[in-house]
Every structure is written in C-alpha cells, then in structure tokens.
Amino acid sequence: MTALLLGALGLTLSLAVPGVLAGARWPDRAPVAAVLLWQALTLTSVLCALGVVLAAPEEMTRAAGADHPWTVVALVLSLAVAATIVIRLLISLIKVSARARARRERHRMLADLLDRAERHRELGGGEVRVLDGALPLAYCVPGREPRVVLSDAVLRILDREQVDAVLEHERAHLRHKHELVMESFTAFYQAVPRPLRSRAPLDAVHLLLEMVSDDAARRRAGPAPLRAALARLSDAVPLAEEAPADPAGESRRRRLDRLAGPAPNSTGLSVLAGVAAVGLLVLPTVILVVPWLDQALDAWPFRSL
Amino acid sequence: MALGDLEREVMTQLWDASEPLTVRQVHELLGRERDLAYTTVMTVLDRLAKKKLVVQQRADRAYRYAPAQSRAEMTAALMFDALSATPDQDAALAYFLGQLPPGAIRAALDATPKET
C-alpha cells in the first residue's frame, strides 16, 4: 500500500504537476517561492522514486509470505536500484558542475583578453568587461572571479542609467548564486532517462531566476530604466522574435509586464507557495511513517493499561 | 600591473600589428609607456602560446609571435559560445536577455557588421 501511494504521488509530481506549474502565471508574482516550489517538487519526486524502489519488493514478498528466500534477493535488488538512482544523480551533478566550471574558466580568460578596457572606465566595478560587436548582449560569468560581460552595442543602445540597471541585474545573479540552482536542475534533467525528461522545469526556473534578478535590479535602479533596457535590447535582436513559437519572446513579454506597474510581488502568494514546498517535501515521509506508526502503536505494550 | 592586464595588452599589440612580432618588438611597443622587463614579456608570450592563443613561428633565428585568430574572429567565437550556452547542457552563464534560438545565432552574428 505504501509503495502504491508513493508511486502514485511520484508519477503525479513528475508527469502532471510540472506542466501545470510551468503554465501558471502566478509564479510571476512570487518568483523566489516558486523556485523553492520547483526544487521541492523535483526533490520529492526523487524521494518518491526511492521510496517505491525500497518499499515495493518488501511489501510484495511479505504479501507472498515471509521467510521466503526470494525476500532477501528482492531486498538486495531494491537496494541496488535505489543506490543506482542516487549515484546517477550525484555523477550527473559532478559532471554538470565540472563542465560549467571549465567553460566559465575559459570564457572568463577570453573575455579578459578581448576586453575593451578603455570603454568602461566610467562604469565602475572591476568585474565589467566590454566586447566589440554590434550584437547587443549582456550576461555574467559566475565563479570565484565573476565577470559581467557587455557587448559594445549595449553601451551604444542604452543610456547610462539603463546600463547601470543591466549591471545590477547581472550582479544579482552573481550575488544570489543562481548558477548553483540552474546547475542542480540541469543535473537532474540529464540524469533522467531521455524519454522521460522534460525541459519544463529548466525553462521555468531559468525565467523565474531572471525575474528574481529583475526585482533586485528594480530595487536598486528603479523599474523604468530596467524596463527600457529590456525593451530596447529585445528590439535590437529582431531575429529572436521572428522565430516561430519562440519561448524567449514570450518570457520577455512576461518580464516587461512585471516591470510595467507597481511591484507585482505578493507576500500571500509567496507564503502559500513556500508552505506548499515544505508540505511536498514532508509528504513522502508522512506516507512512509504513518503505516509504520500505526503498526508501532498496535504493538505498544502499555496500550491495554 | 596584473598579469591578466599584461596579457591583454600583449594580445592587443599582436592584433594591431600587421605581421608577426618578435619578443623584442613587443617589448619595445609596450615599453614606451612604462618600465617592463624583457623576460616578463617573454613569459607572457610563452603563456599565451601554451593557451594556444598565439602561434610561435621560427624565422631568422628568432621566434616571432602572431595571434591565432584575429580579434574579430575571437570575439565572434566567444559571443557564439555565450549565446549557445543553454541550460540543458551545463548552465554555465546567466543572461540579461534570453538565449537566441539555435538557428538564429549564426545569422545574428553574421548580420552584425564587423567593426574592425
């Protein structure tokens, strides 16, 4: 029974819920809590998978009659499968972060060499690098020596206030270590067998982290320069908008909408989503513990007293 | 002066030069503005060669150094790397603008006029 419950929960959480959550618009008003919810969702589905693997063989052999020699075999097998799942996840995490670190390292070195130092003296901040090029581009390279990279086009298209807003946005990514969040989701994505994996959590969390950084930049630089910067830079890259069914165009619209009015974040929604995240994490444990507690209470020796 | 700054200035000299330069030529070009040891320039060029950013050519008993790629080529390659970094691979970089769809990256880079 425990295994069935855990299995049903795991399947719901990994197949049905991500689609619903990715399609929802309320996370735009509680991006931090929504990221937590995605994390809880992913972690809980892993816990459910482990729970099923560990509980199912034991329950089935118990139903077939205890003391059967197959009980031991089933137990060993289930432990092996559970260990495989955990090891696969860990290896994926190590591989993803090693690859990201190597790429950042090389990227930072090249950005340092190609930097047009004379063009950003007045911008301040020792981590800013400016590249030649008419394609507007702004991103950050996380790491122990982080960099914020702008293309020359950004400096020409945006005024000083807007550039500062962009820099604040990138610094928020760096300060909050968003790369670690993304790495964990990427690692999970790659550890899931190909036919079962879904990009929905990756893309949703990516957009939510952009919104979190937008909020940080908005607090420091104000919403107007940030919104203008986002709009101007998207206009300058028309090719992205022309691509059919382009999700980036949609996500830009959502970010622009958030910056249009007063601060959109809702404390109530954040609390709700946070409670949901904690609840999700606790659920598999409850499912596992309750039957055990039931049995334990039955066996409680002082009950008859 | 930090080593990174020096590497950048050496690369800039090599990019701006019309032909491969010897260590002495690089030293003279850089040394005009400041006091810099010849051996320091040699070390920097050696490091850049090890990173495969400059190529070493032997001519007339002296090594000459040339950039492996032009500044424009290297910049385009770096931007291509930045734009093609997607979260399903390694989530290496974080953006202000979302990534371009894969097909549009080359087109966008080619469409932008080269500044050099």
Using an 8 Å CB-CB cutoff, list chain B residues near A174: 94
Mean pLDDT, to the nearest integer, of A173-180?
94
Among A220, A228, A236, A106, CA closest to A171: A220
Min Cα distance A205 → chain B (Å) is 10
pLDDT of residue A267: 92
Does pLDDT of A19 surpass 70?
A: yes
- Take residue B96 and report the two structure tokens written for it: 């202000």
Question: In the predicted model, what is the mean pLDDT of chain A?
Answer: 87
pLDDT of residue A28: 94
Q: What is the pLDDT of residues A60-75, one digit of tens each?
A: 777 776 666 777 788 8
* Residue in chain A lying closest to B81 (CA): A107
pLDDT of residue A39: 96
pLDDT of residue A248: 63
Does pLDDT of A95 surpass 50?
A: yes
Angle between helices B38-50 and B3-16 (to 10 degrees): 80
CB A197 within 8 Å of CB A191: no
CB A21 within 8 Å of CB A39: no
DSSP helix/strand/coil, A38: helix
Q: Which domain holds residue A52?
A: 2-296
pLDDT of residue A68: 67
pLDDT of residue A117: 83
Dist CA A227 CA A210 (whole Å): 13
Dist CA A12 CA A271 (whole Å): 23
Mean pLDDT, to the nearest integer, of A150-168?
92
Using an 8 Å CB-CB cutoff, list chain A residues near B73: none
Task: pLDDT tens for chain B, 116 residues: list them.
Answer: 577 788 999 999 999 998 899 988 999 888 876 778 888 899 999 999 999 999 998 877 788 999 999 999 999 889 888 887 777 777 778 777 755 655 666 666 666 554 44
pLDDT of residue A175: 95
- Take residue B66 and report the two structure tokens written for it: 């040339």
Residue A304 falls inside a structural domain: no
Asked if B75 lies within 8 A of A132 by C-beta distance, the reply is yes
pLDDT of residue A114: 93
Q: What is the pLDDT of residues A99-136, one digit of tens each?
A: 999 999 999 999 999 998 888 877 877 899 999 987 88
pLDDT of residue A252: 83
Place of tokens 């000459």: B64
Give residue A29's pLDDT band: very low, low, confident or very high (50, 70, 90). Answer: very high
Does pLDDT of A200 surpass 50?
A: yes
Lowest-pLDDT range of A125-134, A180-189, A242-251, A284-293: A242-251
Min Cα distance A243 → chain B (Å) is 7
Q: Where are the domains of chain B?
A: 3-67, 71-111
Asked if A108 is an interface residue toward chain B (Cβ–Cβ < 8 A), one would say: no
Q: State the ipTM, two decimals.
A: 0.84
Asked if B79 lies within 8 A of A131 by C-beta distance, the reply is yes
pLDDT of residue A240: 46
pLDDT of residue B53: 93
Dist CA A28 CA A46 (whole Å): 26
Domain total of chain A = 1
* Residue in chain B lying closest to A238 (CA): B108
Give residue A173's pLDDT band: very low, low, confident or very high (50, 70, 90). Answer: very high
Does pLDDT of A215 surpass 70?
A: yes
Mean pLDDT, to the nearest integer, of A185-210?
91
Min Cα distance A281 → chain B (Å) is 25
Fold held by B3-67: Arc Repressor Mutant, subunit A (1.10.10)
Does pLDDT of A276 surpass 90?
A: yes
Q: Which helix (H) or strand (E) holds B62?
A: strand B62-67
Among B12, A223, B91, B56, CA closest to B4: B12
Dist CA B77 CA A133 (whole Å): 11
- Expressed in angstroms, the distance from the first to the final Cα of chain A is 31
Asked if B94 lies within 8 A of A114 by C-beta distance, the reply is no
Residue A303 falls inside a structural domain: no
* Residue in chain B lying closest to A234 (CA): B97
Instruction: Give residue B46's Cα distance to chain centre.
Output: 14
